[in-house]
Amino acid sequence: MKKLKQFYFNRELSWLSFNQRVLDQASRPSNPLLERLKFIAITASNLDEFFMVRVGGLAMVADSETVLDINGWTPTQQLEKIRARVGEMYTDQSECLLNELEPLLAREGIERVDGNHLSKSELKFLRNRFREEMMSTLAPIAIENTETFPALSGARICMCVRLKNDFSSRLGAQTENLASLDQVASREHDRYVLIPMGKSLARFQSLPSKTGYRYMLTEDVVGMFLSEFFGEQEIVEWNTLRVTRNGDVDLEEDGRADLLIGMQAMLEARRKSQCVRLEISASTSLEMRTFLQNSIDVQDSDIYSIRGPLGLSDYFSLAGLRGFPKLNDANWPAQPSPEFSSAESIFQTISSGDRLLCHPYQSYDPIVQFIKAAANDPSVIAVKQTLYRTSESSEIAKALCLAAEQGKHVTVIVELKARFDEARNINWANELADAGVDVIYGVRGLKTHAKMCLVVRREPAGIKRYVHFGTGNYNESTAKLYSDVSLFTCDEKLGRDSVHFFNAITGLSVPQTLEKLIAAPINLRESLLEMIQVETESAARGNSAAITAKVNSLVDKEIIDALYLASQAGVKIRLNIRGICCLVPGKKGLSENIRVISVVDRFLEHARIFHFHHGGDERIFISSADWMGRNLDRRIELMVPVLDKNCKSRLIKILRTYFDDNLAATELQSNGDYVPVTKKRKKKDFRSQLHLHQEACQIHSAQTDPKHTVFEPHRGERPD
């Protein structure tokens, strides 16, 4: 086959395109107002992490001519394109918030109040709050010169106040004794004071109101009463700023015994790392901008002047305002799965057949109950689990502690290097260890990203292994917001593979031959390439060949090139990629048989599901891994074959559901644009997430209907 010139999209610009699709949700009139505000907050939070990790990483190698992206762009070239694109996004954010959402919210009774339009009673109320709470909390920091500028915490709102220097007025007649007026002028520069907004202060200060919700931003309230800090000193101007620091600070893993100490040192280093973004109010004068730039030591190109409030991720709290049900999405409660019944133990249920759950449409409770049952069941002798990210008050972690206290042999791999969850994971690692759990702090040089819980049970017939595999984290909070799948099985070979896989991680060894599980960095890349190659060869022989995959990101060049070759051979490829996609679809002669869609809706699409036609003997997998170099080569990941006929059929149906979406799905074009999926003639509006919710409701309703005396599982249709 003739090798054609390859084309790729830049990873960083592709991610920004994804964030734009999220921001577009904030502008959709069909979304309730507070949900639109939430999408503003999500895009701001996403952008914060993007700067801390991706821009921070590029900034560290900015001068390199050898560190190139998939297209051969240098870090400097990428940073230039990123800055231009981010500038456009800031404009879109401000436009949406100030000109669309705030006026509409005000009509509904949620109003941001201007300090110039307060009643006397409101002014008195705020003055009292300032004097009683804010003034006691805040601590102004005088800046003598740029060298005494404090290391401001990243992502915190800070006020910068410019005060008129009263040095000459205090000198009075003494100025005539100075050698020249120049000496006076040199001491007449305005001085600056910083006021970091306290972490304990709410960002939004509510005003007394009989109806609705009237509020002011905390920095605006402080700005109104600045004179109480500075007395008669003349305030020339005040503005807000926000520093973002490089979060791509790597851990030097010199020794496993010192990993915990090393992680704590890394967190401290992150707090004081290089500034990669300085956000300032658009009203900031050139004098103040220059002062801040010199003091913080940031390039002019990394300063973003923003119209409207900074730190829009804080708007999560406003988006969660209660009392305005019309302005929120309709409730989609997670449905109990009829496959799990309180009439029998969860181990009996799994013994009778594999079980598949689709979250958050179906309840996450069976996963929590699985671990709680393991803790309390006297027949359970061991529990082995991975924890990558978990919730603040995790029921799962508590159940693991209980299991150890009940005398089970509990081993948990807590990944301390889970970015931005390191502190929480350190706390849980300590609590688990105190309860008697054998805690492994990840693996040197790799992140343990696999999602697996293995329960070993002594039964009359012998030892039996029960396993939960998931695509999402063991986190009860995000399980309500992320779209994932779970698989329960007691398949003998998968259970044995799980033991070998887990013991290899904890024992720092290569696992014995895995019969069914596929793992990174061992053989996941090779297995994926082999299965793509099988489809390619099948198509070349004139046989049916197809690949359907759902992942969060597609970045790996080797996988992309294999998909290009498969497309050229005639393989029909459908990809549902939520975020980054470096593959160029629909390009004649290269990728015309590849279709890429992205679904952005109320839940964050997070499941990884792969379907290979395989000559009609469909092979279906769920996985913790995206198709990125880091997942395939630098993380411990799992790809799990789904063997049960009913579970396979359901997953194929779920995959197809997303490609039927004509409301929340957009399709990637060969020029990099995403366009809304065109609704076919005579087709009804179809929203994949709503369909999956309704389906979960129907399954639950059908199984609880008293008119039903015989329950039969739904059999999914065979794929086209």
8 A C-beta contact, residue 70 and residue 11: yes
Given 117, 409, 449, 468, which residue is catalytic?
449
8 A C-beta contact, residue 233 and residue 164: yes
Tokens of 602: 């109320």
Tokens of 189: 């520069």
Position of tokens 């007649």?
Answer: 173
626: DSSP letter: -
Catalytic residue flag (residue 468): no
8 A C-beta contact, residue 275 and residue 301: no
Residue 2 CA to chain centroid, in angstroms?
40
Give the span between the Cα atoms of 483 and 364, in whole angstroms. Answer: 11
User: What is the 3 state secondary structure string of 485-530?
Assistant: EEEEECCHHHHHHHHHHHHHHHCCCCCCCCCCCEEECCCHHHHHHH
C-alpha to C-alpha distances, 391 to 94, 125, 162, nearest whole angstrom: 32, 37, 42
Identity at 242, one-letter amino acid code: R
3-class state of residue 581 by DSSP:
strand
C-alpha to C-alpha distances, 580 to 85, 593, 628, 646, nearest whole angstrom: 15, 20, 10, 31
Give the span between the Cα atoms of 592 and 588, in whole angstroms. Answer: 5
Give the span between the Cα atoms of 67 and 589, in whole angstroms. Answer: 30
C-alpha to C-alpha distances, 695 to 290, 497, 602, nearest whole angstrom: 58, 33, 17
3-class state of residue 309 by DSSP:
coil
Give the span between the Cα atoms of 543 and 550, in whole angstroms. Answer: 24
Which of 487, 486, 517 lies closest to 502, judged by CA?
517
Beta bridge partners of 546: 572
Position of tokens 């693996």?
Answer: 443
Beta strands in 226-282 (DSSP E): 235-245, 275-281
Tokens of 535: 């489809």
Give the span between the Cα atoms of 177 and 26, in whole angstroms. Answer: 64
Classify strands 235-245 and 213-217 as parallel, antiparallel or unpaired: unpaired
DSSP letter for each residue of 534-567: HHHHHHHTT---EEEEEES-B--HHHHHHHHHHH
Inter-axis angle of helices 422-434 and 395-405, to 10 degrees? 20
Q: Is 479 exposed, middle or buried (0-12, 13-18, 19+ CB in 10 A)?
A: buried
Give the span between the Cα atoms of 484 and 120, in whole angstroms. Answer: 52
Q: Nearest 5 degrees, angle CA 84-CA 203-CA 226?
A: 95
Q: What kind and span of H or E run contains 15?
A: helix 11-26
Kindly give, in sequence order, each residue whose CB lies less than 8 Å from that of residue 210, ignoring residues fewer than 6 positions away.
none
Tokens of 578: 């939520």
How many Cα atoms sit within 13 Å of 383 on the Cβ side?
A: 34
DSSP-based helix, strand, coil % in the chain, nearest 5: 40, 20, 35
C-alpha to C-alpha distances, 234 to 144, 237, 546, nearest whole angstrom: 17, 9, 72
Give the span between the Cα atoms of 635 and 625, in whole angstroms. Answer: 9
Give the span between the Cα atoms of 113 and 153, in whole angstroms. Answer: 28
Residues tagged active-site:
449
